[in-house]
């Protein structure tokens, strides 16, 4: 695997100065819970990045519920945690990799290649009796210089073009009921972008919550041509990052993120919505 690491491997790296561990735990229904849990105990040496405070900008009329923050501001936060381009970074959460994958994608977008995601939840790390500490670490600041990789991000206009020319595959990471338009208690408007295929993000995990291996991921995404661009979206651009990471693990190099996702799409009255309530 290229971007997923095991708990055994990570434990061996904890005392190495070139590594930085990032705790990304976050609960959408309780915004401060992730930070509180971090204070109660985390992987030794880990710093904390908050989905809404650190990895998102303020919500506006367009752009989705979790729009990307100013990347220079985000780079400054990385710098303050002692992270630069020479640092090897490993992110984890306890939400099936959703928040950690968002962090992973953002570093990739900033041109940082040495970033990885723990292949299992923090709760399994604890079950394995691996080290946990309450100490909040501080690090000497470094200078993270962003080098944006624009091809990793999909803009709204590109998604609209796909509706016409079908030059890219569009995949939706939300649960089946939201995708089919049966209900949407999160964004209020149910349905999906026309032509999108359903790839629920939790399907890249096994029964225990660990990420599936690359062979199983290749099987899961076998109907998506590897040479095609794949535009991944979800509700607000978070769990879509899980599919981007999983696709790259499966050898799909052209996986890209529509960061605004469904919560951006539905803010435009002239954009079409498709439903499939009968199946």
234 belongs to the catalytic site: yes
Longest dimension (CA), the chain: 57
For residue 177, CA distances in Å to 141, 190, 269 come to: 45, 9, 22
Q: Are 132 and 124 in contact (CB under 8 A)?
A: no
Residue 205 tokens read as: 């995990």
Catalytic, out of 24, 81, 234, 241: 234
Between CA 101 and CA 147 the distance in angstroms is 19
Could you write out the DSSP letters of every residue in 64-119?
-SSPPPPHHHHHHHHHHTT--TT-EEEEE-SSTTHHHHHHHHHHHHTT---EEEES
Report residue 184 as tokens.
């949407």
- Taking the C-alpha atoms of residue 211 and residue 100, their distance in angstroms, rounded to an integer, is 12
Which token pair is 277? 């309530």
DSSP 3-state assignment of 22?
strand
Residues with active-site annotation: 234
């Amino acid at each position: 695997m290229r971007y997923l690491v095991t708990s055994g491997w990570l434990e061996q790296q904890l005392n190495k100065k070139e590594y930085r561990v990032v705790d990304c735990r976050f609960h959408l229904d309780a915004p401060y819970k992730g930070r509180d849990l971090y204070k109660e105990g985390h992987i030794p040496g880990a710093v904390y990045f908050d989905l809404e405070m650190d990895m998102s900008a303020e919500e506006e009329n367009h752009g989705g519920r979790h729009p990307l923050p100013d990347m220079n501001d985000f780079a400054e936060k990385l710098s303050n945690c002692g992270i630069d381009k020479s640092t090897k970074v490993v992110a984890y959460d306890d939400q099936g990799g959703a928040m950690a994958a968002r962090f992973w994608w953002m570093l990739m977008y900033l041109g940082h290649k040495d970033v990885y995601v723990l292949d299992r939840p923090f709760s399994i790390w604890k079950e394995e009796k691996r080290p946990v500490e309450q100490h909040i670490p501080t690090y000497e600041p470094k200078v993270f210089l962003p080098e944006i990789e624009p091809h990793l991000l999909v803009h709204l206009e590109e998604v609209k073009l796909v509706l016409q020319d079908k030059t890219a595959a569009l995949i939706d990471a939300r649960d089946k009921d939201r995708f089919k338009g049966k209900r949407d208690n999160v964004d209020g408007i149910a349905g999906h972008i026309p032509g999108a295929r359903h790839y629920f993000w939790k399907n890249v995990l096994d029964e225990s919550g660990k990420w599936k291996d690359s062979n199983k991921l290749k099987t899961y995404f076998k109907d998506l041509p590897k040479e095609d661009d794949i535009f991944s979206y979800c509700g607000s651009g978070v769990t879509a990052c899980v599919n981007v990471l999983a696709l790259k693990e499966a050898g799909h190099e052209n996986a890209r993120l529509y960061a605004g996702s469904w919560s951006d799409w539905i803010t435009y009255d002239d954009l079409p919505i498709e439903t499939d309530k009968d199946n």
